[in-house]
Chains A and B, each alone.
Chain A
Amino acid sequence: MRIWIHKINANLHRYMALPAILLFGLFFLYPLAQGIGISLTDSNGMTTPNFVGLQNFIDFFADDRARNDVRITILFALGSAPLLNLFGLLYALFLDRGLPGKGFVRAVVYLPAVISPLIMGYVWYFILQPERGYLAHVLKEIGLGFLDVNWLGESSSALVVLIAVNVWQYVGMTMIVYLAGLQGIPADLYEAATIDGASRWGALRYVTLPLLYPAIKINVVTNIIGSLSVFEIIVALTDGGPGYATESLSIYILRMLYGSFTGYSTAVALILFLIILIPVVLFLRITRKSEYEL
């Protein structure tokens, strides 16, 4: 008996992992396996599904609309993720100094991030709507009515607007992570660098950025995931339009699911999972060697 208790005590930390494994299995592995199963069928959610092998995946790559949505999703991420990091870092570096009113600026920059992206999208829609939006009224008032362009009605400009609104909304989130990283860097390292003759740029290059690696990692990974799975902002601002010009893969998945293409939409969901997973894993592998340990 005593031996058993001793054994349990000795392995308690391992048993404690069981609930997590069970939950992981229940909420990730089980749905994933079920998803893989459905993606190999022509299920429409109602009638008996037939096994179709990899046909859904073949159809995906043969479908112009799907390929366009992959392009839009990747372009959106390529625009959003770097800008979010760049502006987030610049804001953090700027606000990390002892400037008056920095708390207020921090709150203002962060505020949009706590508001629902759907609401934010609609607010920007009311601002940018041509002829009847707030921007159109202001431009008309100051005699620049000719600049009132239908930004959301043109395929190319609509995507730029979507990226800009996304960056504006989430730059605060990125900034906060960088600020936390900056505040974790000991001041004596800067003192040492100054004594060694490092300029401001040198301190940033050789002290700040290397020690910010953990924050950079978090921000880049979360921004890649967030940007590649974008949904709400597009729904509110353009609803994927005009036509399908700004439709992201997430929206495509939902529409296919509702459109009775359950098996196909599940296959697309798995493809999106891979599209997100590959850059994240690549980034983590590349940066693993470069990370400095304090």
Chain B
Amino acid sequence: MNRRLISWLMCAVLVIMLVAGCSSTGSSTAGNTSNGENAAAANDTNVTNNTNDSATNEQKEEVTLKFFTGKVETIDLINELITKFEAEHPHIKVEQEYQKDASNVIKVKFASGDVPDITTVYAQDYVDQGKYLDLSNEAFWARVLPAIKELNTDIKTGKQFRVATNVTMAGIFYNKQVFEELGLKEAATWEEFKSNLQTIKDAKPEMTPMFLAGKDSWTLGHLIEFMAHGVIKQKHGVTDARKAFINNESDKLEFDAAGGGIEAFAGRLLELKEAGLINKDALTATYDNQKEAFASGQSALFSQGMWVLGDLLKLNPDMAGNIGFAPFPAIVDGTEPVVLSAEDSVYAITSESEHPEEAKLFLEFLFQPENLKAYSEFLKSPPAFTDVSADWGPLKDQAAAALETGVNIAFTETPSGFSGDDAGRMVQELLAGKYASSGDFAAAYKEAWDKAWSATNK
């Protein structure tokens, strides 16, 4: 009898567990969703609550802010700034958390409720789900460059949910000495670009003309973002192109169009590979290898953003006067060269933060001119705040010249399921010979983009 009773009891426990598992699936996810859907309303509530909080702040209740970043290069500097901030505000503690794969890890954080107060990770999907606090009415906007404010403005709502402290650029970094020695000029067209590389190969067989860091797939993803998407971005202008990417307007994006940006890019890249103008280990070389090869004079040029400058100068401080910076050449006939000029070092406060006032206080501290100056000079990146004057690096004049000669383009706002890494892996496949033609690559790219966009825009 007893044995039977115990058996029944155990079975009941197992069944309850199983049923509990099944039934809670819907409710917990629904719970998350309603949080997201009501986030805009929650924003207002948060703000109201926190006005009350600051009113009673005289008690100086101990507050811990969670700062979540994906910027490895600024960890130490931010820690120094945090120490300074905590000394000024002893009741606020700031904990910095860095994750290499931050744009993906934050997804888990949002889903699990471990939401940071401040983050450098920003994506349109999260804006749509009301994950960020509206910063439109903050006083610091009067100090921000208008072009950067525009890039920080959400296309759908016209509000600002993020603020960038710096401007970044991306283009072609080249060895000036080699260019001067061989009588080369910065290339505006694809033919000029290819001819430059061929001249380098012929004159300096031991040197890699152009270095690709294929193992770090985001570096290949950037080639699509800047060169292939550059065709779309220059055709439609910054704001319309942003709208087209965010809303997946296929008539403007034309990812699979014959002779379009994606197909042209694929064809151009394969031309370089076939002509032996890129490194043999383009598929397995890392970002570190790319920097080392350039700093040691083993490669003549590569595509990167201004964020690479600090590391190049660390690897070879004597190279400061020898680094050239140029726009990406036009990859489609009849188009212009392009250069990325976009927001850098972006900060957003999450709508679920329990301490938005303290989070704003921390941002205001970061935005103080002396702190932004230190940040810009450390990162070798121009400030986006008009009242900050920083000597940010040896490429200051060349960057200004590149911005004059190339069409200024912004980053691509990709669906969160199709990151730069994903696009980069497709470029790896292209280089590995998976696609029979550049048209096949363009079709596959469109399919992957559409699939990811549909997954987050149900």
Contact = CB atoms under 8 A, between A and B. Distances in A.
Interface of A: 7, 10-11, 14-15, 17-18, 21-22, 25-26, 29-34, 36-38, 41-50, 129-132, 150, 152-155, 238-245, 255, 258-262
A11 B6 CA distance: 9
Given A17-B10, A258-B107, A47 B129 contact: yes
Contact of A21 (B13, B280, B432): B13
A261 B455 contact: yes
Interface string B400-442: 0000000000000001111100100110110110100000000
B10 to A, nearest CB: 6
B455 A49 contact: no
B17 interface: yes
B425 A243 contact: yes
Contacts of B418: 259
A50 B26 CA distance: 9
Contacts of B419: 259
A33 B21 contact: yes
B26 A37 contact: yes
Contact of B33 (A48, A132, A245): A48
B18 interface: yes
Interface of B: 2-3, 6, 10, 13-14, 16-22, 24-26, 29-30, 32-33, 36, 101, 104, 107, 110-111, 125, 129, 214-215, 217, 279-281, 283-285, 289, 415-419, 422, 425-426, 428-429, 431-432, 434, 452, 455-456, 458
A155 B2 CA distance: 61
B284 A152 contact: yes
A153 B279 CA distance: 12
5 contacts: A41-B29, A42-B455, A131-B281, A241-B425, A242-B428
Nearest to A47: B33
Contacts of B2: 7, 10-11
B33 A46 contact: yes
B283 A241 contact: yes
A37 B425 contact: no
Contacts, number: 156
Contacts of A255: 422
B284 A150 contact: yes
Contacts of B422: 255, 259
A30 B20 contact: yes
A43 B214 contact: no
Nearest to A136: B281
A260 B452 contact: yes
B107 A49 contact: no
B22 A259 contact: no
Residue from the set A7, A10, A132 with the largest chain B CB neighbour count within 10 Å: A132
A244 to B, nearest CB: 6
Given A46-B32, A46-B107, A47-B36, 17 more contacts: A11-B2, A25-B16, A30-B20, A34-B25, A36-B21, A38-B29, A41-B29, A46-B111, A48-B29, A48-B30, A150-B281, A154-B432, A240-B425, A241-B425, A243-B434, A244-B425, A259-B455
A155 B432 contact: yes
A245 B430 CA distance: 12
Nearest to A262: B111
Interface SS of B by simple majority: helix
A242 B431 contact: yes
A46 B289 contact: no
A33 B17 CA distance: 8
A38 B418 CA distance: 22
A34 B110 contact: no
A132 B284 CA distance: 11
A7 B2 CA distance: 9
A49 B22 contact: no
Contact of B14 (A25, A41, A45, A260): A25
Nearest to B17: A25
B10 A18 contact: yes
Given A33-B21, A37-B21, A244 B6 contact: no
Contacts of A261: 417, 455
A159 to B, nearest CB: 13
A166 B402 CA distance: 48
A174 to B, nearest CB: 30
Contact of A29 (B14, B110, B285): B14
B446 to A, nearest CB: 16
Contact of B429 (A37, A130, A239, A242): A242
Given A46-B111, A260-B125, A242 B13 contact: no
Contact of A243 (B29, B289, B429, B455): B429
Contacts of B107: 45-46, 258, 260
B432 A153 contact: yes
Contacts of B417: 44, 259-261
Contacts of B33: 46-48
A21 B10 contact: yes
Nearest to B292: A132
B14 A21 contact: yes
Nearest to A131: B281
B429 A45 contact: no
A37 B25 contact: yes
Given A33-B21, A153-B283, A241-B425, A43 B452 contact: no
A26 B20 CA distance: 10
Nearest to A153: B283
B8 to A, nearest CB: 12
- In the A-B complex, list the 10 residue pairs whose CB atoms are closest, starting with the nearest: A33-B21, A243-B429, A37-B25, A25-B17, A259-B417, A258-B104, A242-B432, A260-B417, A153-B283, A30-B21
Nearest to B216: A239
Given A29-B18, A49-B29, A153-B284, A241 B455 contact: no
Contacts of A31: 21
Contact of B13 (A11, A25, A48, A245): A25
A150 B452 CA distance: 32
Contact of B36 (A29, A46, A152): A46
A26 B17 contact: yes
A82 B25 CA distance: 40
